[in-house]
Structure 1
Amino acid sequence: MLQDDGGGSAFAPLVVLELAPDTKEEAVAWLLSRIRDPQHSGGAELLVRQLGPGVEAGEKTNPNVFLVGASRRRLLSGAEDLGLFKEYSDGSMRGFTCANKLNFQGFTGDGDDFLSVAECQYIVKHELDTLRAKEETHVPGHSQAKLYPGKSIVRRLQSKGILVQMFPLHEKEELKRLSFSWYKKVKLAFQPLDDIRHYYGEGLGLYFGFLEYFTLALVPMALVGLPYYLFDWEDYDKYVVFAAFNLVWCTIILELWKQFSASLAFRWGTLSRKRAFEEPRPGFHGVLGFNPVTGREEPVYPAAKRHVRIYLVSVPFVLLCLYLSLHVMMIYFQMEGWALTLHDQDPTFWTGVLVFVPSVIYAVVIEIMNLIYRYAAEFLTEWENHRLESSYQNHLVLKVLVFNFFNCFASLFYIAFVMQDMVLLRQSLATLLITSQILNQVMEAFLPYWLQRRRNKKMIRRVQKRRTLGEQELPLEEQVRLEADMSTYLGTFDDYLELFLLFGYVSLFSCVYPLAAVLVVLNNVTEVYSDAFKMCHVFKRPFSDPAANIGVWQLAFEAMSVIAVVTNCALIGMSPQVKAYFPESDTQLILWTVAIEHFLLAVKFILTFLIPDVPKHIRIKLARLEFESLEALKRKVRADSSSPRRTNGAASANSTATAPLCTARLSASPELLMPPCQELVAPFQEAEFE
């Protein structure tokens, strides 16, 4: 993937920019100029080449496809600006600086292979995202695409449909090696998480790490549940022990995951990175105003208007959807009652099958309702006009989780605590779980495989055509166009949501259906292979996401574990064994159940407090790095203060030499700031300008 850059330097294409075919020539020339301009002139100082035409005769291809790369020097300076952590000579992870580059492991010569391709692509994307308008009032040739000083150019082009897509290129050889070690050879071994992180970034690495961890954590539950299910099928009363096991299991695994996640993030150099100041979302709009934090002009939207939209429109809409979901659930119970009555009156094989039909239909309806609601939640959250991407994601996750939780689990809660029918609860849980897994496997495994087969046929035809022309490899132009036709990976939202619901099925009600953990283990094993296949061959390569944890999903799983404690305590209190101790007073039973539930919740929160999120050896290493940074800063200050006085101008410059120290250290190594600097900078990093 190397091309000559004229002057002998190698041009390695990293990112593809595809503009709309009808983009005006002056707009294309203006954008390319801004990408190539030096940084001091407000440009990105990147390399860009136009993709050649398609090879097939008569093929109508988009001419406005461009490859973007960067010089080695530019990538290294970008790594320093972003504060990327790399392995230091002493084995620790430190923020990269060009001045200290020779002290980092793996930096040899000009640093050819020092940065991974995923890191280089992330740097290029960041530089493109931070391209800002200067004095332009609109995109040249497109008067409807308004601009103002400080507006993100790429985001405006995306919102107006001028920039069709922007994606990083796959590396064919490295992808082939990753595919082989990841999913092509069936083996009882862990996933190559370091290789996944190296190729796709920390965000996806942490997702697959959590998927693997969750699957392994389910193994003890499955080993206990399988014999329990096989030898205790008809005895629904002896689930107390399994429910108690659930209480301990759902608490311990999440606390241990925090430590495992912190270990991964520390090894990958993202644990100590501070969240950068967030820029406005591409879809954020408002009246042009002034941001007191950045000093730039940008849209301003009153928080009061946003709150009106949230509380007077979004919240009532969510409540209406919950009511509709409740109405559908009652229709399901009516169908269930009709099928059971029919079977009791004339028990035959077909009426026995009919008993399961309402649950299957209800499971399918649940999946359809979740899908429709997801689109409605995205529309509403976009309409609320959140300024920051993090705020947008938090509100979207909250809307989706509330509805999915109610839609998937309301019927089970009703059966368990209103009808108190453990037989029907087991049957409904089994049907919902199995049906949802079958639908997910069809959508996530078989459908992507079918799409890949169609794409392979297209690729084979192109390869054969090239070979007739005497060429053995698919040229870069054809690789780019094939990848441009691939599906876009929309992030880990749906993947985490699926795991969240599976975690709910296991932690809430698996005591009455112990086979649930076994089914989820089997589902997760196939999920690993299907997700790996999709990432390697169905989706475009996503940009790296330097995440330090699984974000808001950690809170979602912890909230589910709290609900699991309450649910399992209630199920234990309803068991005949426990009721036998309170034969004359249901009130005492309820009071004892509530007291034990509160005690277990207190123990859970105490364990959360006692078990540190970060392992001790990692905390020691982080403290040592901070200590070394402070000592180096003290030596720097002493050296400056002991230097001989110069002229007034020189002395003034020397006295203010340490003034930009906080800013410089923030850009290079934000985690190594002295506490005073952190106190000054943190409010501006965390503030959301309204």
Structure 2
Amino acid sequence: HRGISLDYCDPGFTPLVVLELTSETKEEAIGWLLRRIRDLQQNGGAELLVEQLGPGVGAQEKENPNMFLVGASQQRLLSGAEDVGLFKECSDGSMRAFTCTNKHKFKDFKGDGDSFLSMAECQYIIKHELDTLRARDETHVPGYTEVKLYPGKSIIRRLQSKGILIQLFPLHEKEELKRLSFSWYKKVKLSFQPLDDIRHYYGEGQAFYFGFLEYFTFALVPMALIGVPYYLFDWEGYDKYVVFAMFNLIWCTVILELWKRYSASLAYHWGTLSRKKAFEEPRPGFHGVLGFNPVTGREEPIYPNAKRQLRIYLVSVPFVLLCLYLSLYVMMIYFQMEAWALSVHDDEPTFWAGILIFIPSIIYAVVIEIMNLIYRYAAEFLTEWENHRLESSYQNHLVLKVLVFNFFNCFASLFYIAFVMQDMVLLRQSLATLLITSQILNQFMEACLPYWLQRRRNKKMINRVRKRRTLEDKELPLVEQVRLEADMSMYLGTFDDYLEQFLLFGYVSLFSCVYPLAAVLVVLNNFTEVYSDAFKMCRVFKRPFSDPAANIGVWQLAFEAMSVIAVVTNFALIGISPQVKAYFSDSETQLILWTVAIEHVLLAFKFLLAFLIPDIPKHIQIRLSRLEFESLEALKKKVEQGQRGHPDCSAATQPHTKQAVNLCVLTYLLHQLLQQFCCWPRPHGPAFTI
């Protein structure tokens, strides 16, 4: 294999993606994989460019020689953009799926389109082409008789699941990363994040997370502004929280509905709102007996759904319930420690006894974080063992397991204090301790610790390179950059980031009426979170592949479920307040009935408000409808041209074809009338696309 020299690679070859095999990979397997990557598409190959990475300066024996750089010609990238259904902006300002035949109608397409696709889009296309590289007549990987291959099975995913392929990651673009870093986190400023630049470099999935983080932070500002004077002038009145609770009820509903409108605007602007999801391939770790897929017509592993359901309900569900019981047991130990600390303080109210009161809450907050971390690993193991075929199914089951435990582990003690003990002083103290302690631990674990470990790991390599370079050389060579990035930690996605925001949203929406400074603490946390997350994305982790998302996915449902719980919780807090209890001093049953009745009315109002606020802004709906109409007109014109071009068509066939087209148009117009006047069905995107 040809190796790339220190500062040179073949003209016309731009390294975009790094593919690393194990150092013990057999030569016949390497040669076979490279041939398949380079081969023409009509021969079953990916038609990509690939070169082996040469040794670096002062190369050591422990360096892995089986590292390869993958790129593609410009024409191959453009055809790949059409294959993945990439949406780009046209000259008329609309967003349309890119096609090579109409490439000159798209904005910014000049010459051969060298700068038309961003580097992140090019890397996503290459990953898609590698993932869809399928086995043909091979029964096994050459040199590995135990690694079976099935016709139509993804080669890259098979090599990943068997540990032959160590990692596949996109390269950073140093100059673009410098510009992004400077505008993103290297200067402290009170302004919006460069979401378009983030999307351009990292893709829509990352941009949506940082967009939600920014939006959530700004949405907390009104609550923080109200909370500060409310806290200062109501320090002694722990029971005077009815007004703030009512504000919570409206706030948690409105901000989520407005976020859906804002995210729809972003998705349309980025070209992912109307994008059709491609057929989802099986996960690399999915295994089973070789069978026939009736959808794709290919042979692939088949795993009985009944067996998976048995694993879920007989093993996973009991395990989750056991963990919830252990969490409850730890919570009761915390209350015993709290009672002991209060008794010590009551017996001898000294300075140290006053500090001792906060110790149980701090210990409990640390224990919660440790339990969440341990449970996360257990949940990942169980979800992997359930053997889900699709990555989306795997993520949904993992999110459900983690959310249930984290919600119970973080909020059970607060619910117990609020509604069983009804001690608002202790509730305020516990909430403040949990918020502050968890934020300090999260900032340390997410940014400081990974950066410190990465700095130690990279220091030796950087020093080794600089000793062998002249003082005039200011940049690391390509080979050393690749090996430096290969040793960086793999970015595991936005799961933990969204989970942290979900818990913070819960603290604010559920109990901030008792502790109004909660919103202030979360705003401060998120302000630093923006910079720490941006820093670790640019300096700590490998560059992730672009994720063409249209929204924040399943997390939208999680936040909406939390807002429903917030309505019930806040009104229950109103119901147990002394002011409300005073009106029902004679009958506690009437208090409960009135509380439940009004709470149901407020829930109905919440759902009505969510229904009345459209998920997609009106101007975007009009643009999408216009695209649908143009698609129908184009289809109608194409059919008419086909009829004129085929005069030998039977007379019976032409009227039926025309009727079918007219029926499509009538169906479309009827849908628009129902949408405009009856508000049904509720728009979530294009009604249909032809």
- State whether TM-score is above 0.5: yes
**Residue 167 of structure 1: which of 141, 166, 169 is its match?**
169
CA distance in 1, matches of 2:458, 2:60: 21
State the Cα distance separating 1:463 from its structure 2 match: 4.9
CA distance in 1, matches of 2:473, 2:601: 72
1:547-606 CA-partner distances (Å, limit 9, x unpaired)? 000000000000000000000000001111111111211111111111110000000001
Aligned residues of 1:572 and 1:578 also touching (Cα < 8 A) = yes
Equivalent residue, structure 2, for 1:498: 500
1:274-320 CA-partner distances (Å, limit 9, x unpaired)? 22111111111111000111000011111110110011111011001
**1:579-618 equivalences in 2 (<5 Å):** 579-618=581-620
Identity %: 81
Letter of the 2:114 counterpart? D
CA distance in 2, matches of 1:179, 1:440: 22
**1:413-428 equivalences in 2 (<5 Å):** 413-428=415-430
CA distance in 2, matches of 1:561, 1:521: 19
Is 1:522 equivalent to 2:524 in the alignment? yes
Could you tell me the TM-score, scaled by structure 2's length? 0.93
**1:87-126 equivalences in 2 (<5 Å):** 87-126=89-128
Equivalent residue, structure 2, for 1:200: 202
Is 1:367 equivalent to 2:389 in the alignment? no
**1:511-660 equivalences in 2 (<5 Å):** 511-645=513-647
Letter of the 1:510 counterpart? S
Q: SS of the residue aligned with 1:167?
A: strand
Is 1:179 equivalent to 2:166 in the alignment? no
CA distance in 2, matches of 1:461, 1:562: 55
**Residue 245 of structure 1: which of 239, 244, 247 is its match?**
247
Letter of the 1:273 counterpart? R
Aligned residues of 2:57 and 2:465 also touching (Cα < 8 A) = no
**1:358-397 equivalences in 2 (<5 Å):** 358-397=360-399
Letter of the 1:190 counterpart? F
Aligned residues of 1:48 and 1:69 also touching (Cα < 8 A) = yes
Letter of the 1:539 counterpart? F
Could you tell me the TM-score, scaled by structure 1's length? 0.93
CA distance in 1, matches of 2:88, 2:522: 37
CA distance in 2, matches of 1:75, 1:244: 54
Equivalent residue, structure 2, for 1:127: 129
Instruction: Structure 1: give runs of 5+ residues left out of the alignment.
Output: 663-670, 679-690
Aligned residues of 1:75 and 1:120 also touching (Cα < 8 A) = yes
Aligned residues of 1:626 and 1:672 also touching (Cα < 8 A) = no
Q: SS of the residue aligned with 1:401?
A: helix
Letter of the 1:385 counterpart? N
C-alpha change, 1:57 and 1:110, in structure 2 (3 Å) is closer
Equivalent residue, structure 2, for 1:437: 439
Aligned residues of 1:629 and 1:672 also touching (Cα < 8 A) = no
Is 1:75 equivalent to 2:77 in the alignment? yes
State the Cα distance separating 1:227 from its structure 2 match: 1.2
Letter of the 1:262 counterpart? A
Q: Which has the higher mean CA deviation after the structures are superposed, 55-64 or 252-261? A: 55-64
C-alpha change, 1:629 and 1:466, in structure 2 (3 Å) is farther
Is 1:298 equivalent to 2:294 in the alignment? no
CA RMSD of the aligned region, Å? 2.2
Letter of the 1:241 counterpart? V
State the Cα distance separating 1:450 from its structure 2 match: 1.9
Q: SS of the residue aligned with 2:145?
A: strand
State the Cα distance separating 1:267 from its structure 2 match: 0.2
C-alpha change, 1:338 and 1:644, in structure 2 (3 Å) is closer
CA distance in 1, matches of 2:67, 2:147: 20
**1:209-228 equivalences in 2 (<5 Å):** 209-228=211-230
Q: SS of the residue aligned with 1:487?
A: coil
**Residue 400 of structure 2: which of 398, 401, 405 is its match?**
398
CA distance in 2, matches of 1:621, 1:536: 36
State the Cα distance separating 1:462 from its structure 2 match: 4.2
State the Cα distance separating 1:115 from its structure 2 match: 0.4
State the Cα distance separating 1:616 from its structure 2 match: 0.5
Letter of the 2:289 counterpart? V
State the Cα distance separating 1:150 from its structure 2 match: 1.3
Letter of the 1:17 counterpart? L
Is 1:327 equivalent to 2:319 in the alignment? no
Letter of the 2:162 counterpart? K
C-alpha change, 1:672 and 1:518, in structure 2 (3 Å) is closer
Equivalent residue, structure 2, for 1:681: none
CA distance in 2, matches of 1:206, 1:257: 11
Aligned residues of 1:13 and 1:68 also touching (Cα < 8 A) = yes
Is 1:346 equivalent to 2:348 in the alignment? yes
Aligned residues of 1:240 and 1:572 also touching (Cα < 8 A) = yes
CA distance in 2, matches of 1:74, 1:120: 10
Aligned residues of 2:124 and 2:546 also touching (Cα < 8 A) = yes
Aligned residues of 2:458 and 2:484 also touching (Cα < 8 A) = no
Letter of the 1:16 counterpart? V
CA distance in 2, matches of 1:489, 1:110: 34
Aligned residues of 2:85 and 2:276 also touching (Cα < 8 A) = no
Equivalent residue, structure 1, for 2:257: 255
Letter of the 1:132 counterpart? R
CA distance in 1, matches of 2:121, 2:480: 24
Aligned residues of 1:582 and 1:588 also touching (Cα < 8 A) = yes
Q: SS of the residue aligned with 1:467?
A: coil
CA distance in 1, matches of 2:535, 2:177: 11
Aligned residues of 2:625 and 2:686 also touching (Cα < 8 A) = no
CA distance in 2, matches of 1:359, 1:438: 14
Equivalent residue, structure 1, for 2:311: 309
Q: SS of the residue aligned with 1:233?
A: coil
Aligned residues of 2:58 and 2:468 also touching (Cα < 8 A) = no
State the Cα distance separating 1:190 from its structure 2 match: 0.3
Q: Which has the higher mean CA deviation after the structures are superposed, 14-23 or 54-63? A: 54-63
Q: Which has the higher mean CA deviation after the structures are superposed, 587-596 or 535-544? A: 587-596
Aligned residues of 2:58 and 2:465 also touching (Cα < 8 A) = no
Q: SS of the residue aligned with 1:481?
A: helix
Equivalent residue, structure 1, for 2:677: none
Aligned residues of 1:630 and 1:674 also touching (Cα < 8 A) = no
Equivalent residue, structure 2, for 1:684: none
Letter of the 2:121 counterpart? E
Letter of the 1:198 counterpart? H
State the Cα distance separating 1:211 from its structure 2 match: 0.2
Q: Which has the higher mean CA deviation after the structures are superposed, 250-259 or 130-139? A: 130-139
State the Cα distance separating 1:58 from its structure 2 match: 3.9
C-alpha change, 1:344 and 1:672, in structure 2 (3 Å) is closer
Is 1:48 equivalent to 2:45 in the alignment? no
How many positions carry a matched residue from both structures? 659
Q: SS of the residue aligned with 1:545?
A: coil
Letter of the 1:542 counterpart? P
1:218-267 CA-partner distances (Å, limit 9, x unpaired)? 00010011111122111101111111111111000000000000000000
Q: Which has the higher mean CA deviation after the structures are superposed, 310-319 or 462-471? A: 462-471
State the Cα distance separating 1:361 from its structure 2 match: 0.7
Q: SS of the residue aligned with 2:291?
A: strand
Letter of the 2:301 counterpart? P
CA distance in 2, matches of 1:452, 1:136: 41
Is 1:446 equivalent to 2:454 in the alignment? no
CA distance in 2, matches of 1:673, 1:74: 30
Aligned residues of 2:454 and 2:488 also touching (Cα < 8 A) = no
Aligned residues of 1:54 and 1:477 also touching (Cα < 8 A) = yes
Equivalent residue, structure 2, for 1:24: 26
C-alpha change, 1:674 and 1:183, in structure 2 (3 Å) is closer
CA distance in 2, matches of 1:310, 1:435: 34
C-alpha change, 1:674 and 1:514, in structure 2 (3 Å) is closer
Equivalent residue, structure 2, for 1:139: 141
Q: Which has the higher mean CA deviation after the structures are superposed, 224-233 or 416-425? A: 224-233
